[in-house]
Amino acid sequence: MVDITPGPVDAVPPAEVPEVELYHPHSWWTKYVFSQDAKVIAIQYSGTAMAIGLVALVLSWLMRLQLGFPGTFDFITPEAYYQFITMHGMIMVIYLLTALFLGGFGNYLIPLMVGARDMVFPYVNMLSYWIYLLAVLVLVASFFAPGGPTGAGWTLYPPQAILSGTPGGQDWGIILMLVSLILFIIGFTMGGLNYVVTVLQGRTRGMTLMRLPLTVWGIFTATVMALLAFPALFVACVMMLFDRVLGTSFFMPALVEMGEQLSYGGGSPILFQHLFWFFGHPEVYIVALPAFGIVSDLISTHARKNIFGYRMMVWAIVAIGALSFVVWAHHMYVSGMHPYFGFFFATTTLIIAIPTAIKVYNWVLTLWRGDIHLTIPMLFALAFIVTFVNGGLTGLFLGNVVVDVPLSDTMFVVAHFHMVMGVAPILVIFGAIYHWYPKITGRMLNEVMGQFHFWVTFVGAYAIFFPMHYVGLVGVPRRYPEIGDTAFIPDSVHDLNAFITIAALIVGFAQMVFLFNLFWSLKFGREAGGNPWRATTLEWQTSETPPAHGNFGKELPVVYRWAYDYNVPGANEDFLAQNDPGAAKAAQPA
């Protein structure tokens, strides 16, 4: 236990910042459409991500309807079902979660939280969004292409992904998918450079690395990982595109499809899987780390208590980021790769559980002896811990190579990854939106709708995915549009599936209430003021709300302390903002 009272510090004059070459919009178009302001780009990213996310939500309803009531809906053929799961997965993982956390929250929060006027390369940042939009449009176009979108599953495993037995394999579906991913990666790289270099170079005076809020740490580390991991997907996509369009055999072995010898030969499907998961596993943490960071700040602010073990939290983020590059083959235990890899990857995978567990302990210990305000962001943060702990623990089943053998490719896996990288990060996104909406718009989100949204989403999502583990334990494989009559699967599983479907539809409906709230509160929400949560970080200390172009007024803030000075012994208020010189200010009457 440390007992400290902040001593008086010298007050310093604010950093004299020369009028930087800040981009100044001259017309409506350059202010709201082709804007180079990170805040506008953030809203564009978020809006696009949520719009495409709605498509994924509708797809999930269709899938659930088919699974819950097989045979009832004629238009959901097996082809359509596979197209739905593929697009749902790809949209959620890449076009929604990655884009929203890094493109949305990253753009809005990084410059504000580190005390910068904007991203360091605003023009590149703008390009990043427009390329992302193009990628989304190409993805959407595949719905309208002949043959429809690809139905290869979001993992796009060759050889089937580019063969005629898979929907879209010999049509436009797979080509548009690969092109869209390549575009996304190019666009993301442009944005990612900004997020990283802004944290490296754009920090205001006094903002040392260890004074950064954990939100910035999470987004920063995730971006570094994404910059290094996305090239693997890029390589896989380019090579598969060559195989599909130009007839090379990078991934394609000699094979006979529907009685016909194809001209491919000698390639290795496993090579694709290595490349894919070299991206795919870090991707899990690319989504999780920003969520870790944001939820730390939500808990600390709404429990009015400093985050417990800040240094450990930072180290854990960095350690998880580094370790996540050496665990990829735990997705491939039953892929037929060399069996000795199993020892290595099971060990690394279970080791990564330790820093992750430390993070969980520290969140919970932050609550201990806090002053917990049960605001909606706090509720979402608590729900995140529950779902994340649940999903993380089932990860210990799947990471432990031999336990994975019976469970892999069953609904257990589906339940696991939805809990840990679907529900948990999305709960954080909701919490974060309720938390920062007042800063973005100047108004609070409606509380009643918020409570409804929270309870239905949390309880409903748990009711969907917790029982789903047991469907997998029974042995139901994933990616089956219907189980059919199978001796070892009792009829009660069908009832459980119907229950899950109904829960999914209800949770989906609650999201409509949330979307309505976003628009309704824009006009009718309670006025928020500059710092409604009495938070310490710099984005709440801007002179205007919503922050004007350039973020801070004439002078950039000077940072005197870390981001978690809540209820410091001896302080007058229950929080000290990062740019608050504290005792020094009080000591100087003039």
Partner 1 sequence: MSVILVFLLVIIGIAGWWLVQQGVMSKPWLEHGPRGALQDVEDPVIPTEKIGLAVFLAVVGALFALFASAYFMRMELPDWQALPILRLLWLNTGILVLSSVALQCAVIAARQGQMDTLRLALVTGGITALAFLAGQLVAWRQLSAEGNFLTANPANSFFYLLTGMHGLHILGGLLALTRTTIRAWSSASPERLRLGTELCAMYWHFLLFVWLALFVLLAGWAADFIEICRRVLT
Partner 2 sequence: MAIALVLVLVVVGSIAFHVLSPWWWTPIASNWSYIDHTLIITFWITGAVFAAVVLFMAYCVWRFRHREGNKAHYEPVNKRLEGWLTVVTAIGVAAMLVPGLFVWHRFITVPADATEVEVIAQQWQWNFRLPGTDGRLGTSDNRLVSFENPLGINPDDPNGQDDIVVEAADLHLPVDKPVKMLLRSIDVLHDFYVPEFRAKMDMIPGSVTYFWLTPTRTGTFEVLCAELCGTGHNFMRGFVMVDSEEDYAVWLGEQQTFAQLTEALQTSRADSDALGTTTAQGDAEN
Residues 73-112 that bind partner 2 (CB under 8 A): 78-79, 82
* Closer of 160 and 268 to partner 1 (Cβ): 268
3 in Cβ contact with 569 (< 8 Å) = yes
* Closer of 27 and 208 to partner 1 (Cβ): 208
Length of the chain: 590
* Closer of 315 and 361 to partner 1 (Cβ): 315
Q: Which residues pair with 410 in a beta bridge?
A: 477
Name which position in 112, 177, 401, 535 contacts partner 2 (CB under 8 A).
Answer: 401
Name which position in 71, 165, 529, 546 contacts partner 2 (CB under 8 A).
Answer: 165
132 in Cβ contact with 103 (< 8 Å) = yes
- Sequence-ordered alpha helix ranges (H) in 447-570: 447-474, 492-524
CA distance 520 to 185: 34
Is residue 580 helix, strand or coil? coil
* DSSP string over 126-150: HHHHHHHHHHHHHHHHHHHSTT-S-
325 binds partner 1 per the rule CB under 8 A: yes
Q: How many CB atoms lie within 10 A of CB 486?
A: 13
* Closer of 13 and 259 to partner 2 (Cβ): 259
65 binds partner 2 per the rule CB under 8 A: no
Residues 166-205 that bind partner 2 (CB under 8 A): 166-167
153 binds partner 2 per the rule CB under 8 A: yes
165 binds partner 1 per the rule CB under 8 A: no
320 in Cβ contact with 285 (< 8 Å) = yes
Structure-token pair, residue 340: 């000795």
* Closer of 263 and 492 to partner 1 (Cβ): 263
111 in Cβ contact with 22 (< 8 Å) = no
582 binds partner 1 per the rule CB under 8 A: yes
Chain mean position to CA 67: 26
Residues 356-395 that bind partner 2 (CB under 8 A): 357-358, 360-362, 364-365, 367-374, 379, 382, 385-386, 389-390, 393-394
Residues 432-451 that bind partner 1 (CB under 8 A): none
- What's the sign of the alpha-carbon dihedral 76, 81, 87, 89? positive
Q: Residue 560 binds what, of partner 1, partner 2, none (CB under 5 to 8 Å, by partner type)?
A: partner 1
Structure-token pair, residue 447: 């509380």
- Which range binds partner 1 by CB under 8 A, 39-47, 273-281, 386-394, 444-452? 273-281
570 binds partner 1 per the rule CB under 8 A: no
Cβ-in-10-Å burial (0-12, 13-18, 19+) of 242 comes to: middle
274 binds partner 1 per the rule CB under 8 A: yes
Q: How far is the CB of 299 from partner 1 (least distance, A)?
A: 16
Angle value at C-alpha 506, between 500 and 510, nearest 5 degrees: 140
Q: Residue 406 binds what, of partner 1, partner 2, none (CB under 5 to 8 Å, by partner type)?
A: partner 2
429 in Cβ contact with 482 (< 8 Å) = no
* Closer of 15 and 262 to partner 2 (Cβ): 262
Residue that is written with structure tokens 């697009």 in the block: 87
Q: How far is the CB of 123 from partner 2 (least distance, A)?
A: 41
CA distance 258 to 385: 49
CA distance 7 to 510: 49
What is the x/- site pattern for partner 2, positions 487-516, by CB under 8 A? xx-x-xx--x--------------------
20 binds partner 1 per the rule CB under 8 A: no
210 binds partner 1 per the rule CB under 8 A: yes
297 in Cβ contact with 365 (< 8 Å) = no
Name which position in 559, 566, 575, 577 contacts partner 1 (CB under 8 A).
Answer: 559
Residue that is written with structure tokens 């180079």 in the block: 36
Cβ-in-10-Å burial (0-12, 13-18, 19+) of 325 comes to: middle
Name which position in 232, 411, 449, 528 contacts partner 1 (CB under 8 A).
Answer: 232
110 binds partner 1 per the rule CB under 8 A: no
DSSP state of 261: E
**Binding residues for partner 2, total number by CB under 8 A:** 115
CA distance 202 to 195: 10
354 binds partner 2 per the rule CB under 8 A: yes
Q: Residue 238 binds what, of partner 1, partner 2, none (CB under 5 to 8 Å, by partner type)?
A: partner 1
Is residue 15 helix, strand or coil? strand
**Ramachandran area for residue 206 (φ above 0: left; ψ -120 to 50: alpha; else beta):** left
342 binds partner 2 per the rule CB under 8 A: yes
- Which range binds partner 2 by CB under 8 A, 53-61, 152-160, 420-428, 436-444? 152-160
Name which position in 26, 27, 311, 523 contacts partner 2 (CB under 8 A).
Answer: 311
Name which position in 8, 336, 546, 553 contacts partner 2 (CB under 8 A).
Answer: 336
Question: Per DSSP, which regions of 227-340 are E strands?
Answer: 256-257, 260-261
- Which range binds partner 2 by CB under 8 A, 52-60, 119-127, 347-355, 528-536? 347-355
49 binds partner 2 per the rule CB under 8 A: no
* Closer of 116 and 177 to partner 1 (Cβ): 116
281 binds partner 1 per the rule CB under 8 A: no
Residues 248-267 that bind partner 2 (CB under 8 A): 253-259, 261, 265-267
Find, among 108, 132, 134, the residue nearest to 195 by Cα: 108
Q: Residue 242 binds what, of partner 2, partner 1, none (CB under 5 to 8 Å, by partner type)?
A: partner 1
247 in Cβ contact with 207 (< 8 Å) = no
CA distances from 572 to 10, 566, 575 (A): 18, 11, 8
Q: How far is the CB of 304 from partner 1 (least distance, A)?
A: 15
CA distance 579 to 115: 10
CA distance 503 to 486: 25
Structure-token pair, residue 158: 């060759």
479 binds partner 2 per the rule CB under 8 A: yes
Name which position in 211, 244, 281, 416 contacts partner 1 (CB under 8 A).
Answer: 211
Residues that bind partner 1 (CB under 8 A): 2, 4, 6-7, 9-10, 12, 15, 120-121, 189, 192-193, 196-197, 200-211, 224, 227-228, 231-232, 234-235, 238-239, 242, 246-250, 263, 265-268, 271, 274-275, 278, 306, 310-311, 314-315, 318, 322, 325-326, 558-562, 564-565, 582
